């Protein structure tokens, strides 16, 4: 069990800027009991509870009911059609060991293929490196509609999801709703090149997400409200919408969020805060060590996000946000500024810091930065004074290449997104998610023995 120091920092024990990992009992994340303990408690093989290959849903639910008080729901190697979706509610000290591929079937247009709710000490993982959920989303998307999500956790605590592939969802791929003390890692998500196919959406507290690759042209790994003490690192947005926070509206309540080591290629943005009206606060956010290539936007706070209907309120307050060590290139810096701060005029941003940002344009030979409605902030076009004039905008044109902007590439960068009218193949979880970085946790099949029922 590992504990990100950003979580301990929230208790005032260490500086929030640190990203190293500490083996401590402070704010633990992940399951409480080991896989070995659960395997030795009880094993519920789905193939013993009905025709799991014809429709996994009923056997999966029956296996869960048999192992919900402790044990492992085992899905052996093979292919399992799933037309009956399941909600696995309750349960403690249990796991799903997914060694095969679950393929969506039928025409259910909403819901979740697998939903886990009100559970504790839970783990979903593949021990052989081949576990996957295949949503065949193109069958909906090619008709202009959306279908079910692949995976949703709601009110789940002390959990882990790792070493699996989530592929071609007809809607969102993975949602964590009001979860806590969780860890998500060694995951690849492949979706079509279309909006509405979010990779990972998360809200809750004390959650560590790391070593994840997302392709989908929508949210890569995005924090929503309410959220506290979340560390997200070593993220590969590979032809994606990019990482974000939002959209935010009334009652926004977000604090102590850290993103480190985020690589974005051909994304809508490297990172974007998005709101349009609303109220509440986003505070104590650190966004460090970002690499970008050919992204539309790069560093972006947008308090007037036009894709969201104007919400009641004077605007969300963005306070104490630091952008540090961003390098790379953007698609066209004279059309979309690589530094763009557009805070609400009625609720100006405070204590924004931008440092060590070097992003150059792929098109043309100049770019510009734009900042509006910020107070007592520092760096580039930000306003360091406390005097404030609503809608006052500072722009600066850059005609010389910034020093240190050149950045490494990932070898698996996609040259185009995945189509909406054909199936996406199930990929292998990669060995790296950020240039030069080795995953914190080895693949499950590399570190543990193979279990069979």
Active-site annotation, residues: 218, 293
Give the distance, in angstroms, between the CA of residue 39 and the centroid of all CA atoms in the same chain: 29
Angle at 52 between CA 50 and CA 56, to 5 degrees: 115
Q: How many whole angstroms separate alpha carbon 354 and alpha carbon 303?
A: 18
Q: How many whole angstroms separate alpha carbon 96 and alpha carbon 86?
A: 13
Question: Strand 349-361 to strand 317-330: parallel, antiparallel, or no bridges (unpaired)?
Answer: parallel
Q: What tokens appear for 267 in the block?
A: 């994304």
Name residues whose C-beta falls within 8 Å of residue 253's C-beta, 6 or more positions apart in sequence: 225, 226, 227, 228, 280, 281
The answer to whether 242 and 265 are in contact (CB under 8 A) is no
- How many angstroms separate the most distant Cα atoms in the chain? 70
Question: Strand 86-89 to strand 242-248: parallel, antiparallel, or no bridges (unpaired)?
Answer: unpaired
Question: Strand 21-22 to strand 3-4: parallel, antiparallel, or no bridges (unpaired)?
Answer: antiparallel
Q: How many whole angstroms separate alpha carbon 122 and alpha carbon 124?
A: 7
């Amino acid at each position: 069990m590992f504990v990100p120091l950003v979580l301990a920092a929230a208790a005032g024990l260490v500086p929030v800027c640190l990203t190293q990992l500490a083996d401590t009992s402070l704010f633990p994340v992940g399951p409480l009991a080991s896989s070995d303990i659960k395997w030795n408690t009880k094993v519920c093989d789905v193939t013993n509870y009905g025709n799991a290959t014809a429709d996994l849903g009923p056997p999966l639910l029956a296996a869960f009911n048999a192992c919900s008080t402790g044990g492992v729901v085992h899905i052996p190697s093979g292919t399992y059609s799933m037309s009956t979706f399941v909600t696995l509610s309750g349960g403690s000290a249990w796991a799903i060991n997914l060694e095969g591929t679950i393929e969506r079937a039928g025409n259910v247009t909403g819901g979740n293929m697998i939903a886990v709710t009100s559970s504790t000490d839970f783990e979903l993982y593949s021990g052989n490196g081949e576990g996957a959920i295949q949503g065949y989303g193109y069958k909906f998307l090619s008709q202009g509609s959306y279908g079910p999500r692949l995976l949703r956790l709601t009110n789940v605590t002390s959990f882990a999801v790792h070493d699996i592939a989530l592929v071609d969802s007809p809607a969102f791929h993975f949602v964590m709703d009001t979860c806590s003390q969780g860890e998500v890692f060694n995951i690849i998500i492949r979706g079509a090149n279309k909006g509405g196919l979010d990779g990972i959406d998360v809200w809750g507290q004390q959650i560590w997400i790391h070593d994840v690759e997302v392709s989908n042209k929508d949210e890569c790994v995005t924090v929503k409200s309410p959220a506290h003490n979340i560390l997200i690192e070593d993220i590969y947005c590979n032809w994606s919408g990019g990482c974000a926070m939002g959209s935010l509206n009334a009652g926004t309540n977000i604090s102590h969020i850290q993103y480190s080591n985020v690589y974005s290629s051909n994304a809508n943005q490297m990172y974007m805060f998005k709101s349009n009206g609303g109220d509440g606060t986003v505070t104590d956010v650190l966004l460090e060590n970002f690499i970008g290539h050919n992204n539309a936007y790069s560093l972006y706070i947008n308090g007037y996000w036009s894709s969201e209907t104007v919400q009641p309120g004077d605007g969300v307050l963005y306070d104490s946000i630091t952008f540090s060590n961003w390098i790379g290139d953007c698609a066209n810096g004279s059309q979309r500024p690589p530094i763009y701060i557009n805070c609400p005029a009625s609720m100006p941003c405070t204590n924004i810091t931008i440092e060590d940002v070097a992003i150059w344009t792929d098109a043309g030979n100049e770019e510009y930065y734009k900042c509006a409605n910020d107070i007592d902030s520092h760096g580039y076009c930000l306003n360091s004074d406390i005097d404030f004039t609503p809608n006052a905008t500072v722009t600066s044109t850059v005609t010389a290449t910034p020093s240190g902007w050149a950045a490494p590439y990932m070898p698996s960068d996609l040259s185009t997104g995945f189509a909406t009218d054909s199936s996406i193949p199930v990929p292998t979880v990669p060995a790296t998610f950020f240039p030069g970085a080795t995953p914190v946790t080895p693949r499950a099949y590399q570190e543990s023995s193979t279990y069979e029922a």
